[in-house]
Amino acid sequence: MISIGGLTGFWIIALVTIHGADVGETKRNSLNEPDVPFPPACPTTQNLAAICYQGQGRPRYSSSFFPNSGVSHFRRRGSAINRLESWYSLCCSGQIAQQSDQILCCAKQAWKQTLSQFCMEEFSTMTKAYMCCADRGDARWACFDSELPNPNYDSKPGYTAPPVPEEPGFTFNAFAC
């Protein structure tokens, strides 16, 4: 014979299991944090075509993507991704750089400038900064370019990025290539 308490316990466990299952498109971790794949990979000859031709298929992060409070570090990551995608568009458009080696150099400059600005924003808060921001020079870039969630800049199937305003502040230095 099954007791009411035993049956109730069974249903509670079943509901908790279903509630914790990943059944939706939106990915959140166990703490219900937004999924912002970070850091972005350093541009290379292997991923440059995807950077330039699949940009509209990679997520952008509007303020409505994030909960109202408690996730400012994810907001900064999302802003960095948005800024980087905007600056990649400039590099890939042909307005700044004409040849593929210049486009790659431009994309690398955009990547470094974006992550430098991200680190300045991280250090301007009262929270612990992203771990790579503590490094300097080549060590910082090597840290950011490790354990990457999307090293090939693959687009998200069925996703089209919403229009976002062009981010000011990037100037390509062709003499630094």
- Please give the pLDDT value at position 115: 97
Say how far residue 8 (Cα) sits from the centre of its chain. 43
Sign of the dihedral through C-alpha 42, 44, 50, 55:
positive
- Please give the pLDDT value at position 70: 64
Q: Cβ-count burial of 36 within 10 angstroms (0-12 exposed, 13-18 middle, 19+ buried)?
A: buried
Structure tokens belonging to residue 109: 């400059």
Q: What are phi and psi of 21, to 5 degrees?
A: -70, 145
Closest CA to 130 of 118, 117, 138, 142: 118
125-142 pLDDT tens trace: 888 899 999 999 999 999
77-133 pLDDT tens trace: 999 999 999 999 999 987 776 778 899 999 999 999 999 999 999 999 888 899 999
- Please tell me the total number of residues recorded for the chain in this structure: 177
Task: Tell me the mean pLDDT in the region 65-70.
Answer: 68
8-48 pLDDT tens trace: 433 333 333 333 333 223 344 445 677 888 999 999 999 99
What are the residue ranges spanned by the domains of the chain?
Answer: 41-176
Give the pLDDT band of residue 164 (cuts 50, 70, 90).
confident
- Please give the pLDDT value at position 69: 65
Q: How much is the pTM?
A: 0.78
